[in-house]
Amino acid sequence: MFNSQLLIPFVFLLTGFGSAYLFLNYSSGETTLSSSNEPFMQADVVNNISLYTPDMLSTPEENRLSKLENEVEQLKQQLLQVNQTLESFSTENKQISPVIFGRTNKIPTPSVLTQRLHSYESLIRGGIDQITAEDIVRRKNNFELKRLALQDRATRENYLNTQQYYDELNTINQSDISLRDELGDDRYDEYLFSSKQNNRIKISSVMLGSAAEEVGIEKGDVVLSYNNQRMFTWQELKGATTEGSLGEFVSMTIYRAGEHYSFTVPRGPLGIQLGATRLEP
């Protein structure tokens, strides 16, 4: 009985010492951890709370929410930019698509029509007398008005750009007379030169082993005629080489260093690259 009475206080005392020991160890470890992780004194931590950034003071949960909000805002901005780009592309596509895909929308604009009409002033500047110039302009404009009337009728009757439309257009074009035929070669040559247009074909290069190289045609030569026909544009020369029988020999007149040279060349590809130049008739 006496032993039991002594044992109980001893147990409580031992328990108290153990609890105190554990508490002191926990406090000592926390202090050591804090001092090892912080580069400044504890007093500085208390007195210099302003050194902390908002991110250091906020909780991890608040940091995550803030980052999510920032990411959402960035995604909104990116989505807005994508939508603007798509809208811009859609607008450009609508403007381009009729030209690329829709042949029914190929209606000449006023600026194109103006370029196609023969200007009275340009003819006068080209040395054509007033009476002839006015007559040419009236007849040329008459053909252009016929083309416009055909285009309008075909659009209204829904056969624009069909075979019927092209057949009717070809009939009008065949009735038209070119300005060259109106004036004749000499006056047409003078008109081109006086109006500051190219009136000669210049050879920009000659392929080795070509028909042109074999007969002696050189780079820089100016073509005056082909098969005894005056040539003013490279399109005319290109068309002339495809006429007649392939391999048939025809004459070709060249201007080189102030002299005229005549060559005999076969019809067909000459193996030359053509350009344009302007020389006084």
Give the domain extent around 249: 198-277
Domain assignment present for residue 46? The answer is: yes
Same-domain check for residues 117 and 160: yes
Does residue 205 share a domain with residue 265? yes
User: What are the structure tokens assigned to 52, written together?
Assistant: 């902390």
Q: Where a domain ends, among 168, 191, 214?
A: 191
Q: Are the C-beta atoms of residues 232 and 193 closer than 8 Å to each other?
A: no
In this predicted structure, what is the pLDDT of residue 191? 86
Q: Are residues 210 and 143 in the same domain?
A: no
pTM for the whole thing?
Answer: 0.51
| Exposure letters 12-39 (e unless 16+ CB within 10 A, then b) | eeeeeeeeeeeeeeeeeeeeeeeeeeee
Does 170 share its domain with 225?
no
Number of domains within the chain:
3
Q: Is residue 81 part of a domain?
A: no
Q: Which of 161, 191, 221 is the last residue of a domain?
A: 191
H-helix or E-strand spanning residue 222: strand 222-226
Residue 234 is encoded by which pair of tokens? 């490279």
> Is residue 160 one of the residues assigned to a domain?
yes
Q: Are residues 184 and 203 in the same domain?
A: no
Whether 275 and 202 have beta carbons less than 8 Å apart is answered as yes
- The tens-digit pLDDT sequence of the chain (281 residues) is 544 455 555 555 555 555 555 554 544 444 444 444 444 444 444 444 444 444 444 556 666 666 766 776 676 666 666 655 555 544 444 443 333 333 334 444 444 444 444 577 878 887 888 888 888 888 888 888 999 999 999 999 999 999 999 999 999 988 887 888 888 999 889 888 888 889 999 999 999 999 999 999 999 999 999 999 999 999 999 999 999 999 899 999 999 999 999 999 999 999 999 999 999 98
Domain edge (last residue) among 144, 160, 191: 191
In a domain, 170, yes or no: yes
Question: What is the Rg, in whole angstroms, of the alpha carbon atoms belonging to the chain?
Answer: 47
**Do residue 185 and residue 204 come from a single domain?**
no
Is 149 among the domain residues?
yes
| Judgement on whether residues 187 and 207 belong to the same structural domain of the protein | no
Contact (Cβ atoms closer than 8 angstroms) between residue 243 and residue 267: yes
- pLDDT given at position 93: 44
Distance CA 113, CA 108 (A): 6
pLDDT given at position 62:
65
CATH of the domain at 211: 2.30.42.10
